[in-house]
Amino acid sequence: MKKLAENIIMLAVDSDYGLFHPVLIWDDNHLGLIDLGWPDQSAPLFRAIEEAGFRPQDITDAFITHQDLDHFGNVNELLDLSPNLRLWLHEVEAPYLDGSKIPVKLAEKLEKFDAFTDEEKAEARHMESEYKKRILPKSHVNTVSESTVLPMCGGIKFILVPGHTPGAMVVYLQESGIAICGDSLNIHNGQITGPDPRYSQDMEVGMQSVEKMKAHGMKGMVAYHGGYLKLV
């Protein structure tokens, strides 16, 4: 883990699927977790939260940067511990996770399903099952837009950064100037790159989103799979 500011800790969770970096934020009344990890990997996630000095059951707010399974995979386990948990998503992205729309990557697989090999069909059905098991309860979902400012943890704004997915968002922590970017960018050798083209819906739009992020004059960025980059 790495403390980025007085009330921000970037976790380093070593899962069966590789290293990922959720972020904890807090104030006197809130404990927030930004992105929730791979499915069925709650044990290493919760262990990392405890090693940072907090309890998973005390999390009040969970921010999901986008619809990919590795960013909300432990939502059921977290809701079991914290039944009043508030889930925050961008208004464009929320329908893909509350059951109103088919998630983008799943829809692409189902569209090609008849042409798939048996192995590819099994993979598609597995993905479909994983999403269905984690449909977010609408009673817990709160949507945000770029005009939303939450008066918690020093102020939180949200930046729509499509490309990787249609409603991917950056969680911008105003007090520190640190942006939690999910998969909307990557960091390689101290340089900012765009989203991974293998897993992104529209790379041209994704690169435009990277420039949009840079224009906010952020002091630091967290990439979910790449860690922290200090900019100022």
- CATH number of domain containing 39: 3.60.15.10
- For 164, the domain range is 2-99+135-230
User: Which structure tokens are listed for 122?
Assistant: 């099994």
Q: What is the DSSP letter of 114?
A: G
51 lies in a domain? yes
The pTM of this model reads 0.96
Total residues found in the chain within this entry: 232
pLDDT digits (tens, 9 = 90+) for 176-203: 999 999 999 988 888 888 888 888 888 8
Measured distance CA(1)–CA(131) in Å, rounded: 29
Could you identify the residue written with the tokens 């967290």?
222
128 lies in a domain? no
125 lies in a domain? no
State the total domains in the chain. 1
112 lies in a domain? no
The rounded radius of gyration (Å) of the Cα atoms in the chain is 17
- Which residues lie across from 87 on neighbouring strands? 62, 141
pLDDT digits (tens, 9 = 90+) for 38-92: 999 999 999 999 999 999 999 999 999 999 999 999 999 999 999 999 999 999 9
Strand pairing report for 13-15 and 178-180: unpaired
109 lies in a domain? no
pLDDT of residue 217: 86
